[in-house]
Structure formats: structure tokens, C-alpha cells
Structure 1
Amino acid sequence: MINQLIAYMQYPFVRYALIVGILIALCSSLLGVTLVLKRFSFIGDGLSHVAFGAMAVAAVAGITNDMLIIMPVTIISAILLLRTGSNARIKGDAAVAMISVGALAIGYLLMNVFSTSSNVSGDVCTTLFGSTSILTLSELEVWVCIILSVIVVFAFIFFYNKIFSVTFDENFARATGTKVSVYNLIIAVIIAVIIVLAMNLVGSLLISALVIFPALSAMRVFKSFKSVTICSACLSVICAALGIIISIITPKGTPVGSTIVAVDIVVFFVFWLIGFIREKVR
């Protein structure tokens, strides 16, 4: 198996897939802790459905570079979702559900009514659950992912203290002079970029797993925000790399996105067991 993996690593598309997968997993995990603590765990799910709807519109309109529609629409939706606080008439979880279901339904409707493909069901399934597109990345797409990932990581590190304060207590942060709305906007933009990048890796329906599972796994063992974030990032990177490798080296091949999520689930149960044992020992 090791020899087989070494042989596969000679191909550029395998190296590209590993680079992009690891970067996307890293970026997803950084804000996963923040979203879980802010009770916005399903925002990734909602935004991924919005991205699916935007992708359907781009396909119907015949736009080859669908990123021109998907990215701005997803960013605007992320801003709207994160601004639905406790004073909003529609609470955050309800807003996520409305936008998620609405975008998914409209996207599927458009793809059926204005179909330009002979296999609409296959196209929809591929978009929702991921495809082999992660294994057919061009060098340009890899560089775009690297640049956007570097920006996301730099923004998180640079605004780490502010993100920490906004995550735990917005009212206290506002009282100390922190511009909460500005940092919520930064969080929203970062999340939207991550969602758009992750669609090629795991598909629209599985994006939430990249955000939620590493954070929840780390929370079972660690307690401080910094340690949970670091552990979450390490776990996410390891799970993504393992998932891609397993998908490639298995004889019949497995879906990349589903395999990564399956590895995340196994790791979560391992960390849950570790946390359970530690609590019993105490």
C-alpha cells in the first residue's frame, strides 16, 4: 500500500488534490470553533445550499466562470445570516433554515426547467455530495485556492483576539469599544470564502462536517479556546489527508468528500471516548 501511494504521488493531480484538500480543511476548522460557540453550526450547510442555487443560476445563464456569481451571492448571504441576532424577528437558526431550503429548491427547480444537460439528476448528485473534480484540478485553480487560503489564515491570526471576544460575549466586546459589526462582517466573509472553496472537495451537503466535526472532537478533550482551535485545525488536516489518500488507494475508489467525512466521524468517536474516560477517571 505504501508503494502504491508513493507511485500515485508521482502524478500532479494527486499532489494538487492533497494540497487543496489540506488547505480547505485547515481554513474550515479555524472558524469551526467560533461557529459552534455562537450556535451557528449549520451556517455552513445553509451557505452551501445558497452556493448551489447560485451555481444553478450560473449554469442556466451559461456563465463559464461561475465563481463570479457564487462568491458574491454567498458572501452577501453570510453577512445577512450572521447579522440575524437576538433582536431580529427571525432568529438565526430559522433564517439559516429558510435560506438553505429556499436556495436548494430554487436551484434544483432551475436546473430542471432550464436544463442544458442530459443527466440533470447526476449533475445535482455530484454537486451535492462532491465529485472527482478535486482530482481534476488545474494548476491555476490550485494557486487560487492557495492564495485565498493564505488570506483566510492570515485574517484569522491577525484578528484572533477580536474574534475571540466577539465569539464569547458580543455585549461585553461592544462595551469595551470593539466594533462587533465589523468583526462579524469579517467572520461572514471568511466563512463564505471557505464554503465556496470546499464545494469542490466535499459537495454542498457535506460542507458542515468540515466545520463541525473537528471542533466538536477537540472540545471533548481540550477546554481553552486556543487549544481547541489548534487541535481542531490539526485534526481537520489529518482527516482530510487520510480521506483523500484512502479514496485514491482503495481498489474501486470511494467518493472523496464522503470518505473525508467518514474519517472525521471516526475521529470524533475516538475523542468522545477519550473525553468520557477522562471524566470517569476524575
Structure 2
Amino acid sequence: MALSTTGNATELVRIDDISPAPRVYSVTPSDLGDALRLGWEDFKAVPSHAIMLCLIYPVIGIVLARTVLGYSILPLLFPLAAGFALLGPFAAIGLYELSRRRETGEDASAWHALDVTRSPSFGAMLALGLALLVLFLTWIATAQAIYVSTFGNAPAAGIPSFVSEVLTTSQGWQLIVVGCGTGLMFALVALCVSAVSFPLMLDRHASVMDAVTTSLRVVARNPVTMAIWGFMVAALLVLGSLPFFLGLAVVIPLLGHASWHLYRMVVERNPNPPVMPERNPMKRHAADFPVSLFRGRED
């Protein structure tokens, strides 16, 4: 026990309730390969629900792009694909739970991915996820503004014409340089605040501030390795977006599982890991269908 004095009041505080900041470790580029290998093992062990979780993700991106442009998504296909890196850490929270369960020898199934919603830090995850969504929308709006300032408001005539204009004209090269430079700044912000934030919140039930602070410390400790990781993530997401974002059904779960293992390598393990709250069994009624399928499922 420890004494904590506030004003004239003295409180007894349990020492084990005080959660010091976890230590962060140095990692090398070879560790990134190990993280991807372990992530692939997780994906092979539980591929069905990983794909189920991520098939909706590219669809949302396509719908969002249609909403942003209203007439053509062609000029924003590349920014949209690269921008998935901004939302990826939040989109993979269910995958972190699956990797955690496999690591501890617990059952891992599609329904267990939804157990992340029972975490005491789920609200914090949503808050940080919302911040990443705002960053993503800001990036899309910025990319659109860069395209309009370079080529005007006229919609792209078609894929061959658009590719030719971008790769063979001075305006196209300007678009590439300015767009990639701006996108790099957005990606750097996302990487710094979310490199290990979501796994940390799931593993330690940390607050948003503690998670983001630890993520910043990880990046500061490993600037080169984390920069390489960021480029690897962006490259895999762009490749997974071809064709028609279908490859993301494999890339997203791979990166999600790998991110969990990278977190394990770079942040010290909690000697007293918090226990995930038990599921509350509940009665189901016919009127609850199909909502009852997604809650309170018995193992």
C-alpha cells in the first residue's frame, strides 16, 4: 500500500494499481521479417474469419471514394490505397485479439475476434480510431485538392489517358512529387501515434494518452526500423489494392497479425496482464434475430 495526499485528504492506493510506462526495446529490420512470418502463421491458422473481418474494409473504401468524388474515383485510387495505412491499425483490432489468444493457447475463432468489444479499453480504441478516420478523410480531401490544382476539375477520361497524363507530362510529375510528399507526412503522423497503440490498449487496457505516448517512444527508439515498417505496410497495401482492392482480404489480416508480433518484440511484456472480462450469457429470443448471432455466443 502507498499513501496519496490530496489537499487535506489522505488516501490509500494499492501499489499494483499504479501502472508505470512499459519499457520499449530496439528492433532491427530482420525483426520485421520475423513479425511478418509469425503474422502469416496466424493467418494460415485462422484464415476464414480474418478474411471475413477484412472483406468489408475495401468495400467501405470504395464507397467512401465515391462519396468524396461523386463522379469518378480514378484520380483518387492511389491516394485511397495508400491511405488505408492510416486506418489499418484500427481496422485490425479484431486480428490483434486473435493473435493474442493464439499466443496464450486460447481458442481462436471468428467469434473470438469480436471479444475485443468487451475490453475495458474498447472506448479508447474507438476514440483513437475516430482520430485516424479524421486523418484519413483529411488526406483524401487534400489529395483531391492537389489533383484539382494540377489538372483542374475535369474528370479523368479513362485509365489509359489518366496514366499517360500522370507519367508523361510535367503536371503529372508535379502531382506525383507533391502528392507523395504530402502523403508521406500524413503517414508519418499515423505511424507515430498508432505503431503499437491498439495492441497496447488491448494488452494492457491502457488509455489513449498512455498508448500514444508509448507508440511515440517506440518510433523515437527505432526511427529507421519503424520507417522501413511504414514503407513495407504502405507498399503491401498498395499491392493488395490491385485489382479492385481484393488483395486487401489477405494483406490486412497479414499486417494485423504481424503488427501484434512486432508489438510483442518492441514493448516489454506486462508481468501482471489484465484479465479480459467474462462473457455474460444471455437469453435469446426470436425477435432478437439476427442480432443475437453477434453477441453472447457460447464457446
The two structures have a TM-score, normalised by structure 2, of 0.30
More helix, by proportion = 1
The two structures have a TM-score, normalised by structure 1, of 0.31
